[in-house]
A and B are shown apart, each in its own frame.
Chain A
Amino acid sequence: MIEAFELTKSFGSARAVCGVSFACDDGHITGLLGPNGAGKTTTLRILSTVLAPDAGTATVDGHDIVAAPRRVRQALGILPDSPGLYGRLTAREHLRYFGRLHGLDGSVLESRVREVVELLRMEEYADRRCGGFSKGMQQKVALGRALIHGPRTIILDEPTAGLDVMSIRETRETLRHFKTEGRCILFSSHNIPEVEELCDRIVILAGGQVHGVGSPGELKEKTRCSRLEDAFVELVGTAAGLYDHP
């Protein structure tokens, strides 16, 4: 469960997010949809306590991100915008490292590492150093690292960006699996079909502000559009930045 209230953050004179409020429920997939530069990454970084908000706050599973950041970090699983792996460590060593940082140890840690390796089907390369991994393999290690402590709430920043079709399908399957387990999933994307396919609720973000919240159906109904893309343009005023995939 995530609840954000009026999150605001500037970098120097540039306002990245301004009064962002929304909620994500357990057992739901929530999509943060917006063009590049909309403030998606900043919002997710504030929620994961990596950045501090200038104003406003949020709670993750009831813990306040400003007052109790460590509690929030313990409750969250985070997949940042780049997988960020240590080239000289193996996949399993990554999982162990973050498991330990989350307070796991001994046989509990080892069995948890095995579970994650199985869940993400990483057996084949779990004991290889990550230096030469493909983008898809890297993404799985990063996802495994986010899941190692069994978080109830998971935040993913553009989880499918730059992946091949097979890896994208697998990632989407994994997200659906989390949903059936009753977890709260918040992910960012600028891919409208993906968001429409996966999400129970969409938060439309542009220019650092929320332009609409609702299920794909609700958003279309509200704007009287038959396609989500048209609804998006109707709500934001432009579709600029949605398609220039990096």
Chain B
Amino acid sequence: MGHQVRTIWAKEMLDALRDRRTLLMMVVVPGLLFPLLTVGPHILLGRQVAAQRQAPLNVAVDGTAYAPGLVAFLRRWGVGILAPPQDVEAGVQERTIAVALVIPPDFSQKLEKEEPASVTIISDESSLRSRLAAARLGALLTAYGQQLTSERLARRGIELAAISPLQVRQQSVATRQQLAAVLGRLSVPIAVLFYAVLAGMYTAIDVTAGEKERGTLEPLLGSPASRAEIVIGKWLAVLATTIPALLLLMASIWLAFRLTPKGLLGGSLAFELSLGSAAAVALLAIPFGAMLGAVELVICTFARNFKEAQNFMTPVMLAVMVPGFAIGFLQDFTPALWMFGVPVLGQALTIVELLQGTQGLMELTLTLASTMVGMLLALWLAIKVFQREQVLFRQA
């Protein structure tokens, strides 16, 4: 048994490694393309936030003459005061200005009479730039209000602390790793799931539908190797392309997050992929890739040629991506234990847990057990399918 399996495996490896598509899938895609796809969105998001935070705040102020004190305060904090357009609201809407401040004519009089004086911030909630600018302006106005408060209190001989009986402090129980994982779950699980299908796909197609298309299947079936030996040899060849590719994928994603400057990734909230998490995800990806490899063999054995096999694989790829996407967007979702036993969903959930560092032993065991059962089942099915004449010699 071992001898035949090894012979078939060795031949499939030689054949696959001479195929440029295999090398592309094993080295270039996981080494370069996927890290870029994973880190890229983080960089884009982080850059936008950082750029807005560091950019000078320019505010179109309508009614500067009514509040010289406030305007001076804003100038002191580095705010650029712009002349307001004819229609302030339209200006913000058309995004010619990020944010506007409207000061009513009675502002100074009200302040003098110590009545509440109102100002209005006009912003566009749908624009990130406008939202951030409004938040910064709001913080400055609050600070100005506090300054006025303490001046008034001082005139009456009261300390500011005396009228602040309650100090509310917020403490979040989320660890930094969890916070960052909120971002990480958007990109890492989908990359791993998708790639576990993609990495071995060309090899899986080549060793099944490819053999039919070239007419090489018949001589192989006529050799002393049994159908089980043939399938296991081919499966091992799929694994030999999938596993190194998945390890390379995790290594290069980890390296990409490591090498990208923190500032580019959104500063303190940046997703941080620890070496431990990356290694744990990679270790989980190995049996997952092995299971998918067997599934691919089952499906591709039905196809008569390369093109048909690719068509058959498309729904599988989509099916694997659905849980990946869902998990990225369902931020406040507590999975039930049984979900970890569902193929693909379980692995996706476990990857998220590993990224957050919150994995439970039960969940992990269940995921690994279901992966192993799925793998053996798919392999058994692949052998069964390979014994069916209707499948191997399927006509149009």
Contact = CB atoms under 8 A, between A and B. Distances in A.
> A and B: partners?
yes
Interface of A: 45, 48-52, 70, 73-74, 76, 78, 80-89, 93, 97-98, 100-103, 142, 145-146
Interface of B: 3-4, 7-8, 11, 14-15, 18-19, 214-226, 389, 393
A70 B1 CA distance: 12
Given A80-B215, A97-B11, A101-B7, A88 B18 contact: yes
Given A51-B389, A80-B215, A101-B7, A70 B222 contact: no
Contact of B223 (A51, A81, A93, A98): A98
A89 B216 CA distance: 12
Given A84-B215, A88-B15, A88-B19, A73 B222 contact: yes
Given A78-B222, A82-B215, A89-B15, 15 more contacts: A48-B222, A49-B222, A52-B389, A70-B226, A73-B222, A80-B215, A84-B218, A86-B216, A87-B214, A88-B18, A93-B11, A100-B7, A101-B7, A101-B223, A102-B224
Given A100-B7, A101-B223, A103-B224, A50 B218 contact: yes
B48 to A, nearest CB: 47
Nearest to A93: B14
Contacts of A48: 222
A100 B9 CA distance: 12
Contact of B222 (A76, A86, A87, A100): A76
A84 B219 contact: yes
B224 A73 contact: yes
A145 B224 CA distance: 13
Ranked 3 nearest A-B pairs via Cβ:
A84-B215, A82-B215, A88-B18
A104 to B, nearest CB: 10
A85 B214 contact: yes
Contacts of B14: 88-89, 93
B3 A103 contact: yes
Given A45-B218, A78-B219, A80-B219, A101 B15 contact: no
B3 A50 contact: no
23 contacts: A48-B222, A49-B222, A50-B221, A70-B224, A80-B218, A80-B219, A82-B215, A84-B214, A84-B218, A86-B15, A86-B214, A87-B214, A88-B15, A88-B18, A88-B19, A89-B11, A89-B14, A93-B14, A97-B7, A101-B8, A101-B223, A103-B224, A142-B219
B216 A84 contact: yes
A50 B215 contact: no
A93 B215 CA distance: 17
A84 B224 contact: no
Interface SS of B by simple majority: helix
Given A50-B218, A84-B216, A98-B219, A74 B224 contact: yes
Nearest to B223: A101
Contacts of A86: 15, 214, 216
Nearest to B7: A100
A125 B139 CA distance: 80
Contacts of B223: 73, 98, 101-102
A150 to B, nearest CB: 14
A81 B215 CA distance: 9
A83 B8 CA distance: 19
Contact of A101 (B18, B218, B225): B225
B390 to A, nearest CB: 8
Contacts of A50: 218, 221-222
Contacts of A93: 11, 14
Contacts of A70: 224, 226
Contacts of A80: 215, 218-219, 222
Nearest to B17: A88
A52 B216 CA distance: 19
Contacts of A146: 219
Nearest to B216: A84
- Most A CB contacts (10 A, CB to CB) among B8, B14, B224, B226 go to B224
- Most A CB contacts (10 A, CB to CB) among B14, B223, B393 go to B223
Nearest to B6: A100
B211 to A, nearest CB: 8
B4 A101 contact: yes
